[in-house]
Structure 1
C-alpha cells in the first residue's frame, strides 16, 4: 500500500526514479487483480466444483440403494485402530454378520458395520448397496457437496492471491536488482579516487 501512496506523491518529485513509478504501478495492478480476479476465481472454481459434485450425487443416488439388513450375530471387534479419527467413528458402529435383500431380489450376507450400539440377532438396520447387493458407501449429500465446493473456491481464491503477490514480489525484486546495478555503474563512473579529485595525489 505504501507504493500506492507513493504513486501519488512521486508524480512531480524531481528525485523520482523511473523504477519508483514502475514499482507503484505494479502494486496498483496487484491490488486491482486481488480485488477482482481473486473473487472471480473463487466463484468460478466453486461453481464448477459444485456442479460436478452435484452431478456425482445424482449418479450415486441412481446406482446406490438403501436396504434393510438383519443382524444374524455380532462379530468380535477388530484389532485396535491406531488412528483416533477412524476408531472414534467406528465406536458408534458394530461389526455384525447380517443378511439383506438386494434391489434385484437376490439375498446376500456378510460382515458389515451396523449403526447399532449393542446389536442382537434379528435387529434391523439400514445399509447401502449397489444394484447387485454389494455393500457400498452412503451417497454424497447436497450439503456435503456444497461444502466441498465452497472449500475448493476458497482454495482457488487463496492460490490466485498468492500467485499475484508472488508475481508482484518477483517484479519488485527485479527492480531492486536494477537499482543496485545502476548504483554500481554510477559508482564506477565516479572512480575509486572520487574523494581525492583535484588534490594532486
Structure 2
C-alpha cells in the first residue's frame, strides 16, 4: 500500500508560549501559582544572585584592603634553629618558630611566626605584624585579593541560586502532587460515566 500523503503534512505540535499566563479552559489555579513561582525563582536567581555576589565580593575586597592597611612588615630575629624540611612540589616550606621583634611603641616582643625552614638562630628576617603588634599572616596582594573576592562573590551567587532552585523545585513538586490528587478525584467522578457511555 502506497502512502500518498504529501511531504510535510505530518501533524505539527502546537506551542503556546506563556500558556500559564493566558486565560484558557484547561488552566487551573495551580498553573497560575506555578507561573508566579517560576517568575519569582528567575527574579531571585538573576537579581538576587547578582546582588548577593556583588555584595560578597565588595565585602571581601574591603576586608582584604583593611588587612593590607593594618599589617606591616618588620625586621625580626630568629631565636631558635629551624631545621630544613624538604617538601616536594612547594616553593617555600614555612614552619612556626620563635622570633623577637620591636613593636610600634619601641618595646621588644617575642612570639611565634611562620618562617622559612633551614634558618639558624640569630638570623634576621621580616615578619608581618597586625595593628596590635602581633605576628599575622601575609595579607593578599591586590591582584590575588581581587581574584579571591570575585570567587567568593561567584560562590555566593551560585549558593543563592542553588537554594532558590531547591525551594522552587520543592514548590513545583508540591503543586504537581496536588494537581495529580485533584485529577484522580475528578476521574473517580467522571470515569464511571465514560465507561457507561462506551459499553
Global fold match (TM > 0.5): yes
What CA distance in whole angstroms lies between the structure 2 residues aligned with 1:126 and 1:136?
12
Q: TM-score of the superposition, structure 2-length normalised?
A: 0.65
Q: TM-score of the superposition, structure 1-length normalised?
A: 0.65
Answer 1 or 2: which has greater helix percent. Answer: 1
Aligned CA RMSD, in angstroms, stands at: 3.8
Consecutive unaligned residues in structure 2, runs of 5 or more: 1-13
Aligned position for 1:48 = 55
Instruction: Please tell me whether the aligned partners of residues 70 and 122 of structure 1 are also in contact (alpha carbons under 8 angstroms).
Output: yes
What CA distance in whole angstroms lies between the structure 1 residues aligned with 2:139 and 2:18?
57
Aligned position for 1:176 = 180
Instruction: Please tell me whether the aligned partners of residues 97 and 111 of structure 1 are also in contact (alpha carbons under 8 angstroms).
Output: yes
Give the 3 Å change call, closer, same or farther, for CA 8–57 of structure 1 in structure 2: closer
Instruction: Please tell me whether the aligned partners of residues 104 and 132 of structure 1 are also in contact (alpha carbons under 8 angstroms).
Output: no
Instruction: Please tell me whether the aligned partners of residues 106 and 133 of structure 1 are also in contact (alpha carbons under 8 angstroms).
Output: no
Give the 3 Å change call, closer, same or farther, for CA 9–145 of structure 1 in structure 2: closer
Instruction: Please tell me whether the aligned partners of residues 67 and 127 of structure 1 are also in contact (alpha carbons under 8 angstroms).
Output: yes
Give the 3 Å change call, closer, same or farther, for CA 26–125 of structure 1 in structure 2: farther
TM-superposed deviation, 1:55 = 2.7
Q: Show CA shifts across 1:113-160 (max 9, x none).
A: 21x131122333332222342223334553222321221122112222
Q: How many residues align?
A: 173
